[in-house]
Amino acid sequence: DSGVTQTPKHLITATGQRVTLRCSPRSGDLSVYWYQQSLDQGLQFLIQYYNGEERAKGNILERFSAQQFPDLHSELNLSSLELGDSALYFCASSVEGQGEQFFGPGTRLTVL
């Protein structure tokens, strides 16, 4: 158990819908990262937040957005969902803006 929690574990929805994935970092960690893992692309970095502020942006689509709240939990919002958005979404956290990242168990999103 890494100490990072993600909910829900599984999510099945239809194209065009919007979903929110939630992540609680390890106690004391200030930084949260979101990754998408698919069979063809592997694990891709989406976005990083540090103490509530966006720190780095990767291959995140405009239909996707994220935020980190004052209590340091984070949410990833995915809208206008497409079939190709089906993937595992992982959250990771680290103590500071760099250093070892601890991954949560992931949310498996299926878009039908």
Binding positions for another protein, rule: CB under 8 A: 2, 4, 31, 33, 35, 41-45, 48, 55-58, 90, 92, 94, 97-106
Q: Measured from the CB of residue 12, what is the shortest distance to another protein in angstroms? A: 16
Pair of tokens at residue 60: 């995140």
Nearer to another protein, 46 or 78 (CB): 46
Report the distance separating Cα 20 and Cα 32, nearest Å.
16
Residue whose CB is less far from another protein, 55 or 65: 55
Evaluate whether 66 touches 49 at the Cβ level (below 8 Å): yes
Closest distance of CB 78 from another protein, Å:
19
Cis before 25? omega within 30: no
